[in-house]
Amino acid sequence: MLIKLPFRFILSVIAACSAGLVGAAFAAAQGAASVRVQVVDADGMPVRDAVVELHSARRPSGPIRFPWKMGMAQKGLQFTPGTLVVAKGSTVAFPNLDQVRHSIYSFSKPARFEIDLYGRDQTRTQNFPITGSVKLGCNIHDDMRGYIRVTDTPFASKTDHNGYATLAGMPTGSASLTVWHPQLRSPANEMKSAFSVSGAAQVHKLKVVLR
Ligand SMILES: [Cu+2]
């Protein structure tokens, strides 16, 4: 990959009070915190559908379960949701809710596969055993794009339309933070930085440069 310019990655703490003192004290006593992140672009505008992941050496054991569905529909000639965060090893369902047939292909390293054309109200599934980012397309509709972010941390979420993501129950102490977005201008479209999780509720603003 050709890298001409170093990316800018500024991590700054902008605020430190969005929970009551009692709640914060409780979280600190438990050694866990709720980390709130806002991802913005070079102009300060919110970046939606960026995936934020926190890795901690103190991560709890056991399987990772996210509260959202492990599914991505094809609806209105689009993958919906367009970005899906899944745990490593997950099987994702791809229901076709359109009147027309769709296929699914990926040339991405963590999951190279091709699912032949299938029609309305049919579903296909695919397993994602390797962490990383998977870009999906449809052979019939060139504009269809879907992204699966496969992660091995339970502290992962994508940003909302205001650029915010909340990662609850994060163990306090040192961690590593990764932000990924398909247009992020850096190798593998992701950036990592060291991160310290304290017991106090905080909002961390991440400035990224998009293509
Ligand atoms: Cu299609």
Cis peptide before 46 (omega within 30 of 0): no
Among residues 128, 151, 174, the one where a domain terminates is 151
The CATH number given to whatever domain includes residue 14 is 2.60.40.1120
Mean pLDDT score, 176-198: 94
In a domain, 67, yes or no: no
Distance in Å, CA 148 to ligand 1 centroid: 17
Domain count, the chain: 2
Whether 108 is covered by a domain: the verdict is yes
Q: Are residues 55 and 80 in the same domain?
A: no
For residues 53 and 26, state if they share a domain. yes
- Give ion ligand 1 contacts, CB < 5 A: 102, 138, 140-141
Q: Is residue 8 scored above 80 in pLDDT?
A: no
| Domain shared by 78 and 140, yes or no | yes
Instruction: Give residue-wise pLDDT tens across range 128-181.
Output: 999 999 999 999 999 999 999 999 999 999 999 999 999 998 899 999 999 999
Assess if residue 48 is contained within a domain: yes
Please state, for a pLDDT cut of 70, what percent of the chain lies above it.
Answer: 85
- What pLDDT is recorded for position 11? 34
Residue 86 counted as domain residue: yes
Q: How far is the CA of 82 from the centre of ligand 1 (A)?
A: 14
Residues 83 and 137 in one domain: yes
What is the reported pTM? Answer: 0.84
Distance 181 CA to ligand 1 centre (A): 23
Domain that holds residue 50: 10-60+158-207
Range 28-39 average pLDDT: 80
Question: Is residue 66 a part of any domain in this protein?
Answer: no
95 and 146 belong to one structural domain: yes
- Centroid of ligand 1 to alpha carbon of 117 (angstroms): 8
Average pLDDT, the chain: 86
**Residues 133, 185: one domain?**
no
Domain membership flag for residue 23: yes
Quote the tokens at residue 115: 């699912």
50 Cα–ligand 1 center, Å: 24
Better-predicted residue by pLDDT, 116 or 197: 116
Q: Is the pLDDT of residue 29 over 60?
A: no
pLDDT digits (tens, 9 = 90+) for 13-24: 332 333 333 344
* pLDDT higher at 17 or 118: 118
**Residues 78 and 97 grouped into a single domain:** yes
Please tell me the distance between residue 128's alpha carbon and the centre of ligand 1 in angstroms: 21
* 141 & 162 share domain: no
DSSP string, 116-171: EEE-TT-EEEEEE-S-EEEEEE-SS-TT-EEEEEEES-S-EEE--TTSEEEEEEEE
CA neighbor of 108 nearest in space, from 140, 152, 146, 75: 146
User: Based on the domain organization, do 177 and 197 belong to the same domain?
Assistant: yes
Residue 89 belongs to a domain with what CATH number? 2.60.40.420
Q: Is residue 4 part of a domain?
A: no
